[in-house]
Amino acid sequence: MAESTTGVGRAPIQTARGEPRLRVAAISKAYGAVQALVDVDFEVYAGEVVGLVGDNGAGKSTLVKALAGVIQADSGAMYRDGQQVHIISPHDATRLGIETVYQDLALCDNLDVVANLYLGREEQQTVIPGVVKQLDETQMEARTNQILRQLDVKIPSVRTVVASLSGGQRQSIAVAKTVLRNPAVLLLDEPTAALGVAQTRQVLNLIRRLREQGLAVVMISHNLADVFEVADRVVVLRLGRRVGSFAIGATSSEQIIAAITGAEFGGITRGANAMDASHEGSEMAQ
């Protein structure tokens, strides 16, 4: 299937926005005989939410791990604001302003919100110059409250133990932890998975606020309804290849499903009959 880069009745997606905040060109990654990514191009601009979708095994997680420095691509190039960069570790990604929130959230349930946000990066104040320092609890608590207000995250108290928070609140705390580092790009791995309706709404509103603050946000999701609600654009991977880039508002869920399943837009499928493609697509949208 040829890649769609326009959506229905819309000019090409690339506009006068300048350089993408993050771009990869012809990224490939193989695990033995399995080709996880094949010459994949990907880009996200400042103030944009890009939904990254595809069936299981499409290469979504592999691409995000490459962007986050967890794995190294076999070939291809990465660019940050137009300048080529080399990301070979999570530290490199963080240094370049690229943060990732994985499904497991990496929170310590037995610690409060402040301690989770500052874990490993605690603020200190001098008690006896050159001799004694102690944690600056006042400064950390004030900054935590500032970040949560900025993101409109509502919790009982910043001293609440994380284990007692709801799923949506925990997801918000994981995002706030990355925002504390002033990222330019935020990668979200299935941010609404296993959340109820109200908690999902809370997380989607948080993603909107991140976009309003100028972050470039990449959202991996199997839930097309959530993607259509907050994304500006959808990039589809299939069998390790990028097969489509669609502008939200100028495309339909049927087109996205067709790209995910390998169907043609006219209803003629490639390698499957229309009923099978429709069934797979409906599962994907759930």
Spell out the per-residue pLDDT of the chain, length 286, in tens.
445 444 433 233 343 468 999 999 999 999 999 999 999 999 999 999 999 999 999 999 999 999 999 999 999 999 999 999 999 999 999 999 999 999 888 899 999 999 999 998 888 887 778 777 888 999 999 999 999 999 999 999 999 999 999 999 999 999 999 999 999 999 999 999 888 899 999 999 999 999 999 999 999 999 999 999 999 999 999 999 999 999 999 999 999 999 999 985 444 333 333 323 333 343 444 4
Structure tokens at 97: 């302003």
What span, in angstroms and rounded, lies between the C-alpha atoms of 268 and 204? Answer: 34
pTM of the full predicted structure? 0.82
One-character DSSP codes across 43-91? EE-TT-EEEEE-STTSSHHHHHHHHHTSS--SEEEEEETTEEE---SHH
Contact 48, 211 (CB under 8 A): yes
The alpha-helical segments, DSSP class H, found in 96-252 are 113-117, 137-150, 167-179, 197-212, 224-230
What are the domain boundaries of the chain? 1-8+17-97+183-195+207-286, 107-180
Pick from 192, 189, 256: nearest CA to 54: 256
- CB-hemisphere CA count at 13 Å for 262? 12
For residue 64, the surrounding DSSP H or E stretch is: helix 60-68
For 91, the enclosing helix (H) or strand (E) is helix 90-95
* Class in CATH terms, 1-8+17-97+183-195+207-286: alpha beta
